Amino acid sequence: MKKVAIVGAGQSRYGEFPDKGIKELFFEAYKDMTASVDRGIDPKMIEASYIGNLGSGGFQLGNMSALVSEYCGLPHILTMRIENACASGGYALVAAIMDVLSGTHKVAIAGGVEKMTDVSSSKQKYWLGVSGDTEYERLAGTTFSGLYALIAQRHMYEFGTKREHLSMVAVKNHKNGAQNPKAQFQREITLEQALKGPIVAAPLNLFDCCSTTDGASAVLVCDADIAKQFTDTPIYVGGFGTASDYLAIHDRASTVTLEGTRRASERAYKMAGLTPKDIQLAEVHDCFTIAELLAYEDLGFCEKGKAGPFMEEGHTQIGGDKPVNASGGLKSKGHPIGSTGTGQAYEMFNQLRGTVQKPTRQVKNAEIGLVHNVGGSGGTVSVTIMRR
């Protein structure tokens, strides 16, 4: 399926920026994106913007996509805020793809932005952690750390997954993120440090959990027929798939599988005519270390229950046969909720074109990659396969 192309991608630095709000952050990503278009782009060609965003720190609730679009000089286009919790960006990408696929428009932006650090951490916790089942999961005394910990505990019980396996994910992603100039945290950690972190929601400790982050990203999606106007090396959308699931973990048949991921990836593979074996690298949703282990299984990279050994065997390191989260993942790069999905696409765009910012992170000869974005504890999942 070569109908849709991605011809540019940009991302702001991820971190904490008191001097930048959602408009400034998104503009930074937008400028980065337009600069990445090899032959440049006349902004008048941009017809639509699909922007992932959860809460903007509680500030701009209505019409935020129109707000950031006009700030970037795009006042009169089709614009839509896409919200599926932490999968907002991934779904914004899917929305832009479907727009172009349907023939409605030829050029669309898929982006995302989140401003999370404008309020105190206890105020943050008020509007985070309500994308699970608020009535029961939140009022049982959990936020997402607690929910993913419930999954981790069961995974360890059913499959013998070890505490060390979780920490190995953190160590790998910090190692990768240390080589990513746009990552929130650019600092390696040792396995010992990762194991000894203060407990947040046992068995998860501080190093198993991603942080709150400000950031924005944007990718330029266009009809493949006009891609060469913009670049000789466009990236193509091989396929995509999305699926939702019961919000409350207790409503799911299995506690240790994200049905959303399983079905979304199945649909993406089917559309692309590919299997998990064909995927050479992936950016997956590691909001918590256990989430990355689940992704290995539910994306079909390894069998259910075997993610711990799979991690231990080194397949997912840069240099391994299935590098995962060469960007540093959510853990090290940061997780500005609305932006994460399109930020993953930004990384994949550069990996597939060989234009990653620091060559030590560059996966060699990457042709087919997968981005995986999860909302909440799996209530929504989007998977997109990108290829040269």
Partner 1 sequence: MAHVSIPMYWRTIPQRYKLVGQKCKKCGHINFPPKGVCKYCNESSDFEEVQLSGRGKVHTFVLISAGGAPPEFADQEKAGGQYPVAIVEFDEGPKVIGQMADVDPKDVKIGMLVKTELRKIYTEEDVIRYGFKFVPITEGK
249 is a contact residue toward partner 1 (CB under 8 A):
yes
Least distance to partner 1, CB of residue 122, Å: 5
Residue 84 DSSP class:
B
CA-CA distance, 250 to 239, in Å (whole number)? 31
Of 71 and 127, which CB lies nearer to partner 1 in the complex structure? 127
Residues 288-327 that bind partner 1 (CB under 8 A): none
CA-CA distance, 375 to 272, in Å (whole number)? 23
Which strands form 4-11's sheet, in the order they lie side by side?
78-82, 48-52, 107-114, 215-223, 4-11, 235-244, 380-387, 368-375, 281-283
Of 153 and 342, which CB lies nearer to partner 1 in the complex structure? 153
By CB under 8 A, the count of residues binding partner 1 is 43
Assign residue 63 a region (left: φ > 0; alpha: ψ between -120 and 50; beta: otherwise): left
Of 100 and 249, which CB lies nearer to partner 1 in the complex structure? 249
Which of 106, 338, 118, 74 has the alpha carbon at shortest distance from 217? 338
Of 128 and 281, which CB lies nearer to partner 1 in the complex structure? 128
Q: Which stretch binds partner 1 (CB under 8 A): 40-48, 195-203, 293-301, 361-369?
A: 195-203
Query: What is the dihedral angle through the alpha carbons of 58, 60, 61, 62, rounded to the nearest 10 degrees?
Result: 180
Least distance to partner 1, CB of residue 189, Å: 17
The answer to whether 217 touches 342, Cβ cutoff 8 Å, is yes
CA-CA distance, 150 to 255, in Å (whole number)? 8
Q: Which stretch binds partner 1 (CB under 8 A): 12-20, 71-79, 176-184, 249-257?
A: 249-257
Residue appearing with tokens 């999905």: 341
CA-CA distance, 37 to 33, in Å (whole number)? 7
Least distance to partner 1, CB of residue 308, Å: 17
Residues 141-170 that bind partner 1 (CB under 8 A): 141-143, 145-147, 149-151, 153-154, 157
Of 153 and 344, which CB lies nearer to partner 1 in the complex structure? 153
Residue appearing with tokens 């896409």: 82
In this chain, which of 248, 271, 315, 367 binds partner 1, going by CB under 8 A? 248
Least distance to partner 1, CB of residue 256, Å: 9
Give the x/- contact pattern for partner 1 in 99-138, rule: CB under 8 A: -----------------------xx-xxx-xx--xxxxxx
Least distance to partner 1, CB of residue 91, Å: 22
Least distance to partner 1, CB of residue 234, Å: 41
Q: Which stretch binds partner 1 (CB under 8 A): 187-195, 202-210, 234-242, 377-385?
A: 202-210
Residue 288 DSSP class:
B
Of 131 and 316, which CB lies nearer to partner 1 in the complex structure? 131
Render the burial of 123-149: b for 16+ CB within 10 Å, e for the rest. Answer: ebeeebbbbbbeeebbeeebbbbbbbb
Give the x/- contact pattern for partner 1 in 51-90, rule: CB under 8 A: -------x--------------------------------
Active site residues: 86, 335
Instruction: Collect all residues with Cβ–Cβ distance below 8 Å to 65 and sequence separation of at least 6.
Output: 49, 50, 51, 53, 79, 80, 81
Which of 269, 144, 137 has the alpha carbon at shortest distance from 210? 144
Of 22 and 149, which CB lies nearer to partner 1 in the complex structure? 149
CA-CA distance, 365 to 353, in Å (whole number)? 9
In this chain, which of 76, 139, 192, 319 binds partner 1, going by CB under 8 A? 139
251 is a contact residue toward partner 1 (CB under 8 A):
yes
Residue 42 DSSP class:
-
Least distance to partner 1, CB of residue 377, Å: 11
CA-CA distance, 345 to 382, in Å (whole number)? 12
Of 17 and 207, which CB lies nearer to partner 1 in the complex structure? 207
Residue type, 130: V
In this chain, which of 202, 313, 314, 321 binds partner 1, going by CB under 8 A? 202
Binding residues (CB under 8 A) for partner 1: these are 58, 122-123, 125-127, 129-130, 133-143, 145-147, 149-151, 153-154, 157, 198-204, 206, 209, 246, 248-251, 255
